[in-house]
Structure 1
Amino acid sequence: MKKLLFIGLIGFGGWQYYSNNIMGTNSLPSISSFSPIKSTTKAAPRPSYTCDGRQHCSQMRSYEEAVYFIRHCPSTKMDGDHDGIPYERQFNK
């Protein structure tokens, strides 16, 4: 029984020495030792719109396209109160 206790103490002491002197004072790995996780999912491609002279809601193919035109193209006529929200007249009752 004493031999088993002695072997256990030697093993524990060896582990303490190893963790403090070989691995450094901190036995936990540092954050810098981990590599960043790369995402396996791909982001959906963003549609590329261009200002081509369209001005009205009826000329747009989507709400997102209308928002792009309001924010980036001159002379649009889709945002009467200039709050950045197109198609407001279509939803007013």
Structure 2
Amino acid sequence: MKNFLLVAILGFAAWSYYTNNLDAGTGVIIHPHATEKDAMEGAVGTYQQDFRCDGRLHCSQMTSRAEAEFFTKNCPNTKMDGDRDGIPCENDHRF
């Protein structure tokens, strides 16, 4: 019984940590008094600093819509905007 209780407590602690820190890796910090425009400008500046052209070309190699947009705008020979409307990975439903 003690082992079960210990496993249950550890499981709950891990789940709680995971749900509280789910967005910690985005790198975008939104201040409570910032406007939506300020938040978007901060997000654009952040992802441009985090991504680098490293030879990836296809949507299946991207991890986010922001990354795909960065690659389409800043890296040569990408193959993510088939209809050339400026919106990459339109049919990729992961993001």
Q: Which has the higher contact order (CA 8 A, sep 6+)?
A: 2
More helix by share: 2
Based on CA coordinates, which of the two structures has the bigger radius of gyration?
A: 1
Please give the TM-score of this superposition, normalised by the length of structure 1.
Answer: 0.47
* TM-score normalized by the length of structure 2: 0.46
